[in-house]
């Protein structure tokens, strides 16, 4: 279905000329001669693009712009202006106009600008559609990748149970998000989160187990610990691998016996919280090295859920970006609602060592820096605009392997495109992948097929 364009031009001869040029470009055109009629049509019908002269009888083109930008689904606005009115057109750009054309111009130039505006309208529209698909709960799990589908199904299966759950995955993959989703679906009481690596070791015991009056100097009264505070709800032990060995013994006893004692007392209290633990560490290796107790490890891992790294679910980038841009708009008043194809390609080409958390911060930066509704690559953080993966001063083995794989992949794809003169359809069977998969690999590795197509 062709994109609909509203053309507002008071000179009948020019209106006809421009209409014919747009129709020849396979656009559907509604042409009117004044701002009042344009306003009526805008209120009654949807349009992708409005092309309006700045100077009109009665109300001017600026009023058309303001009305269009205030609509629930605002079309892109292109202004036509005489040379002397260029400052007014530039001012209109700041108010949200897509572009302006200084008269005289060729009809073909108008067609090019309108097509680009229609493309941006479609981009923003797809972003809104993605937003509609998202769960509006803050932090809810999202993603269409098969690995995320497995995570979601496992969460739904075990959420109503009281069995301990161990969440595993790299930093930033969303382990706390998964823990909160488990809690939400369990219909339990409070959700109490504890970062075992963030509380000083000398305070951690009293924070977890509570303190009886007079247990030590300064303990002036009884204090409920976090385990007890989670009674009837969920206790989330983040970074469980950082828990000191002495407290591992005590926590294991609480889980085994279903009861606890505050520091400095003998009274036994019931432990009624469901426990969810999370770690980015290799706990099996920690057990072998004597840094984590085997009995606690086996008690926590009754159910294990592995959160996939972002680099293994790049197809979820548009969904995640939609959520994070919406949050940036609400939190910072940012205008950005969508990513340009070039910006999305830059995101797909990054290794994301910080995973979803890093993506969120990158998009918040981009949303704040962008002056447009569609984020271009120049608004992304500087490191994402550079080719390749982030390089640490002393890279880990995983980082070094990823960089080598990316370099090898780019070399292979470059040679493949050279052999097939940039024809992705012909190259895909040789690569052993589907055409769309090859397109995604080319974007991720920064290889542009058009560079390998010879001229006629």
The pLDDT of residue 177: 93
The pLDDT of residue 399: 52
Give the H or E element holding residue 284: helix 283-288
User: Span 391-413, mean pLDDT?
Assistant: 61
Are residues 368 and 408 both part of a single domain? Answer: no
Residue-wise over 408-441: b if at least 16 C-beta within 10 A, else e?
eebeebbebbeebebebeebbeebeeeeeebebb
Residue 239: pLDDT band by 50, 70, 90 thresholds? very high
The number of distinct structural domains making up the chain is 4
Residue 358: pLDDT band by 50, 70, 90 thresholds? very high
Are residues 154 and 237 both part of a single domain? Answer: yes
Residue 298 lies in a domain: yes
Structural domain ending residue among the three candidates 278, 306, 334: 306
The pLDDT of residue 216: 59
78 or 189, greater pLDDT: 78
Residue 403 clears pLDDT 70, i.e. is over it: no
> Would you say the pTM of this structure is higher than 0.85?
no
Residue 130: pLDDT band by 50, 70, 90 thresholds? low
Are residues 233 and 380 both part of a single domain? Answer: no
Are residues 277 and 186 both part of a single domain? Answer: yes
Residue 391 lies in a domain: no
Task: Quickly tell me which residue has 């009624």 as its tokens.
Answer: 272
Structural domain ending residue among the three candidates 352, 385, 418: 385
| Whole-angstrom distance, CA of residue 80 vs CA of residue 53 | 5
39 or 398, greater pLDDT: 39
Are residues 106 and 192 both part of a single domain? Answer: no
Residue 29 lies in a domain: yes
Are residues 402 and 357 both part of a single domain? Answer: no
Are residues 60 and 187 both part of a single domain? Answer: no
Are residues 124 and 150 both part of a single domain? Answer: no
Are residues 170 and 249 both part of a single domain? Answer: yes
The pLDDT of residue 85: 63
Residue 140 lies in a domain: no
Residue among 217, 205, 197 nearest 262 (CA)? 205
Residue 405 clears pLDDT 80, i.e. is over it: no
Residue 392 lies in a domain: no
Are residues 436 and 402 both part of a single domain? Answer: yes
CATH classification of the domain holding 152: 3.40.50.300
User: Span 308-328, mean pLDDT?
Assistant: 90
Question: What is the domain range of residue 65?
Answer: 4-133
């Amino acid at each position: 279905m062709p994109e609909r364009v509203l053309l507002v031009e008071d000179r009948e001869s020019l209106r006809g000329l421009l209409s014919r040029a747009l129709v020849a470009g396979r656009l559907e055109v509604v042409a009117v001669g004044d701002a009042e009629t344009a306003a009526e049509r805008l209120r009654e019908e949807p349009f992708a693009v409005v092309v309006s002269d700045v100077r009109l009888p009665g109300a001017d083109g600026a009023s058309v712009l303001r009305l269009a930008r205030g609509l629930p689904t605002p079309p892109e606005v292109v202004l036509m202006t005489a040379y002397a009115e260029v400052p007014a057109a530039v001012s209109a750009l700041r108010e949200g106009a897509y572009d302006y054309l200084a008269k005289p111009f060729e009809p073909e130039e108008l067609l090019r600008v309108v097509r680009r505006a229609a493309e941006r309208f479609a981009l923003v529209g797809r972003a809104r559609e993605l937003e509609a698909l998202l769960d509006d709960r803050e932090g809810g799990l999202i993603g269409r990748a098969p690995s995320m589908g497995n995570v979601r199904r496992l969460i739904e299966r075990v959420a109503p149970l009281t069995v301990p759950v161990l969440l595993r995955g790299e930093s930033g993959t969303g382990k706390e998000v998964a823990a909160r989703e488990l809690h939400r679906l369990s219909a339990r009481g409070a959700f109490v989160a504890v970062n075992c690596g963030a509380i000083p070791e000398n305070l951690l015991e009293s924070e977890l187990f509570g303190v009886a009056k007079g247990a030590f100097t300064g303990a002036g009264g009884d204090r409920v610990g976090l385990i007890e505070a989670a009674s009837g709800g969920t206790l989330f032990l983040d970074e469980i691998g950082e828990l000191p060995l002495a407290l591992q013994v005590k926590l294991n006893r609480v889980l085994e016996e279903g009861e606890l004692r505050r520091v400095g007392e003998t009274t036994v209290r019931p432990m009624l919280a469901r426990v969810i633990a999370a770690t980015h560490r290799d706990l099996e290796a920690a057990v072998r090295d004597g840094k984590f107790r085997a009995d606690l490890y086996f008690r926590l891992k009754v159910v294990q859920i592995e959160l996939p790294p972002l680099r293994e679910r790049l197809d979820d980038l548009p969904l995640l970006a939609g959520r994070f841009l919406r949050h940036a708009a609400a939190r910072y008043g940012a205008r950005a609602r969508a990513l340009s194809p070039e910006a999305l390609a830059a995101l797909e080409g990054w290794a994301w060592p910080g995973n979803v958390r890093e993506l969120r911060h990158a998009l918040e930066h981009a949303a704040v820096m962008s002056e447009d509704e569609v984020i271009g690559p120049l608004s992304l953080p500087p490191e994402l605009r550079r080719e390749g993966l982030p390089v640490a001063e002393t890279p880990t083995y995983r980082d070094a392997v990823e960089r080598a794989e990316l370099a090898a992949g780019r070399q292979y794809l470059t040679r493949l495109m050279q052999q097939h003169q940039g024809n992705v359809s012909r190259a895909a069977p040789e690569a052993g992948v589907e055409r769309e998969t090859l397109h995604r690999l080319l974007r991720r590795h920064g290889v542009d097929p058009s560079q390998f197509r010879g001229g006629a």
